Each structure stands twice: as structure tokens, then as C-alpha cells.
Amino acid sequence: MDGFDSLLAGRLARRRLLGAGAVAGLGATSALAQAGGLVRLGMTGGPDERPLASDFPGKGPMIVQRNRPVLLESPMSVFDEHVFTPNDRFYVRWHWADIPLEVDVDAFRLTVGGQVGKPLSISLPELLRLPRIAYAAVNQCSGNSRGFFSPRVPGAQWAHGAMGNAVWKGVALRTVLEMAGVKPGAAAVRFGGLDRPLTAVDDFDKSLELDHANDGEVMIAFAMNGEQLPMLNGFPLRLVVPGWYSTYWIKALSEIEVLAAPDDNYWMTKAYKIPTAPQADVPPGAKDFPTEPISRMIPRSWITNVVEGTALPHRDTLPVRGIAMGGDQGVAKVEVSADGGHTWSPAQLGTDEGRYSFRRFSIDLPTPAKGELALMARCTNTKGEGQPMEPNWNPGGYMRGCVETVRARIV
């Protein structure tokens, strides 16, 4: 018996999350900026300061990238403190300002329709009675770190905090598709949530090929780190597509539609397209190049205990630690360099929480001589895929994966 079974027993009250204060928090950027102060994100060639605020519902101190729709970024210190990102520090991204602010858990239904033998309308208690799966997985926005693109590109100017790692629990999408009976010849499965566009444009819907949807790992999650999903992270249900960028991880998931043909909606055919070139990399300014929908994630790593621009005392050793991810594979090794990438030393890896999770790394380096220092980490995943030294560029600001540098000074 866990917290979710109490929902079954009807003891969980309706989730009415946003009171008057919280709603005000969704509207007042300048007040927030004054209340929480400004943070610098270390970007060059454009605006670099953002307000820090802690008055969004269910959220602690977060970097406010945008107010409507809500875009909140996790400060890097969160990743230094936790390998599983706490729910109240987990980043938030919505495309439309009309997001669900409360959900009536008794009336809520997840519908499954389209190319199925038996259309379904599943209540939350019914969903909670189905067999469950659970695993750790990183949720990372396709545009994470976009603010570091050079030359800069339009879109949310995220630093590295449009990502988070959680243990997700829910029902395999395959279980629900089997209950509905997918008709022969079906090609894809489309997902939609409770949020709505304010103008006459396509809903934010995404889809997966049928085989992927049926892989037994793609999950309809009702829990994140052992708790209900925060409202801003998609309460009561969200799709989890482990190893893939979060654009597919539809929040407040309410509609599943099995399609006879590949999805032709705007969000699949026009948005979230990357160059087919390796690392999704094209020369700055390039326009006519072949594209494909963004999909699997790639290895990345971040030093989390040394803040850009800080002065470190000269001691016997220089402790360096951080987090790494393998993309859609596990982390095989992480190496650290204190000389701008000339020499590398293998770091110690923390507990393996599964192939889709963050993994901690740490190393005590011999302290370099006094002066400027360029610290770097690089991750290699279990497929042997590493991180390039050179940053990629594409007009969408997607799929950054290069080795990141933290500059500090030894004094």
C-alpha cells in the first residue's frame, strides 16, 4: 500500500492546487524579480540575467525563464545536491499559457481511441489497478543549454537546468494499448494533454511509432520520486519516454490516439526538427539542410561543485564532482580535465541507478598551480559514444552535447 492506493480507496481529496497567491505567482515577473533577486547564467552575446523565485505552486527557488507559459529552470546547485531532482526543484516547461490549474480526480479520464478494437475511457482508480513499472530516467528539454549557442538562436534561453532526474512509476503504455486492441496496420500513437492553445493553432500533441510505443518501457506515469506529479509537471498523468528528449513526455496526458499513418501534425512535422547531420550540427546561418524529428538523447556531463568564475583556495587536492548521463544508454565512464582538455583523469562513478538515470562522478585532482583554470568533464556511454569538444549549432538550439567548460581561479 502506498500513497497511490489511497486514491483507490477514495481517500485522496481532489487536487486543487493553485490558490489565489499561487495564481498571482503565475503573473507577476517584476514582483518576482524583486523578491528573489537576479541570477547570472554565464551566457555571452545576449541577456544573461534571470529572476529567481520561489512562489510558484509546488516549487522551491527556481530560475524564471518565462512567466506565461511557465518556464522554470533548476539552478545548477540542485544537481550538486541530488542525483534525483526533488519534485519542488524540477524544471517546468509548457508551450501554452492555458495549462491545467486543477484537476478533478473523480471526473478525470484517459481516453484511448483511433485505430483500436475497443476505445477506452480509463478513470484514475482503474489505471491504478493495472500492473505497474518503475525506473529512473532523465527528463531533458530538447533545448536544454540553448542559451550557450553561439551565435545565439531564438527560443527559451535555458542554461543547463532544463533537465531533471526522477524515479517514475506508472503503467506501461503497452498494457493500455493491449487492452484497447490496436488494429492491424496502425502506424503511430499520438498523445495529447489537458493544456490548450489560446489561438487557433494545433494542440501540443506528439506521437511515437507504434513499435516504440509498445516497447514495454514507455510509461504512463502517475508518480515521480514516490509522490504524485506536481501540477506544473503534469498531474495526474504524464508520458515518460526514457532516453528520448522530453518534448515527447506529454504532461497532463488525457488522450491517446492510435493513428493509421504517421502523424502529420505541426508539432511532429514542423517543430522540434534537427539536422540529420552528426550531432545535429550545421554551420551557423545554414537554412536548407535535411531534417528529422529530434529523438534520442546523447551523453552529457556537468561539473556541479565548482561555480563558473569562482576563486578556489590552493589546497593539496581539488575535489571535482558532478553528474553525467549516457543519453539512451548507461554511463560507462567519466573523465575530468583541469587543463582545458589536454590531459584527462578517470573519475569515480557513483551508484548505477539504471541506464536512463543521472550518475554521479567525483575525483580529487592534484591542485593545479595558482592562476586560471579550465575544468571539463566528458562522459562515454555504454555504446562507446562520447562527447565532442566542439559545440554544435542548429537554428532550433537543440541537442547540445559538447564538453562544457567551467572557468575558475586558484588563489
Among residues 162, 184, 200, the alpha carbon closest in space to that of 72 is found at 162
Partner that binds at residue 397, options Mo ion, ligand MTE, none, CB closer than 5 to 8 Å by kind? none
Q: Residue from 240, 252, 347, 379 that binds ligand MTE (CB under 6 A)?
A: 252
Q: Radius of gyration of the chain from Cα atoms? A: 22
Q: How many angstroms separate the CA atoms of 257 and 261, rounded?
A: 11
Among 193, 275, 396, 397, indicate the residue that binds ligand MTE (CB under 6 A).
193
Shortest spacing between CB 10 and ligand MTE, in angstroms: 27
Q: How far apart are CA 213 and CA 234, in angstroms?
A: 19
Residue 141 touches Mo ion, criterion: CB under 5 A: yes
Beta strand pairing status for 71-73 and 188-193?
unpaired
What's phi and psi for 144, nearest 5 deg? -55, 135
Q: How far is the CB of 97 from ligand MTE (least distance, A)?
A: 10
In order, the DSSP letters of 374-397 are EEEEEEEETTS----SSPP--TT-
Q: Which does 244 bind (CB under 5 to 8 A by kind): Mo ion, ligand MTE, none?
A: none
Q: Residue 72 interacts with Mo ion (CB under 5 A)?
A: no
Select 79 or 361, whichever has its Cβ closest to ligand MTE: 79
Number of Cβ atoms within 10 Å of the Cβ of 71? 22
| 58 binding partner (options Mo ion, ligand MTE, none; Cβ < 5 to 8 Å by kind) | none
Nearest distance from C-beta of residue 348 to ligand MTE, angstroms: 29
Rounded distance between C-alpha atoms, residue 388 and residue 163, angstroms: 20
Give the phi and the psi of residue 163 in degrees, each rounded to 5.
-155, 160
In 3-state terms, the chain is what percent helix, strand and coil (to 5)?
Answer: 15, 35, 50
Q: Is 358 in the site for ligand MTE (CB under 6 A)?
A: no
Task: Examine residue 297 and tell whether it contacts Mo ion (CB under 5 A).
Answer: no
Q: Is residue 239 part of the contact set for Mo ion (CB under 5 A)?
A: no
Q: Figure out which of the listed residues 4, 56, 79, 91 binds ligand MTE, where binding follows CB under 6 A.
A: 91
By the rule CB under 6 A, 139 interacts with ligand MTE = yes
**Which parts of this chain interact with ligand MTE (CB under 6 A)?**
90-95, 139, 141, 193, 195, 204, 233-234, 246-247, 249-252
**Which parts of this chain interact with Mo ion (CB under 5 A)?**
141-142, 247
